[in-house]
Amino acid sequence: MKKLKNEKELVKKAIAEGMKYGEARGVVEFEPTDSAALKIEYIYRLLVHDKVIQAIPHDQLSQQSMRHRLAIWASKLK
Residue 2 pLDDT more than 80? Answer: no
What is the domain extent for residue 68?
Answer: 8-23+35-75
Assigned domain for 16 exists: yes
Assigned domain for 28 exists: no
Assigned domain for 54 exists: yes
Assigned domain for 55 exists: yes
pTM of the model: 0.91
The Cα-based distances of 5 to 11, 28, 30, 51 in angstroms read 12, 30, 28, 26
pLDDT of residue 35: 96
Assigned domain for 3 exists: no
CATH code of residue 60: 1.20.120.1930
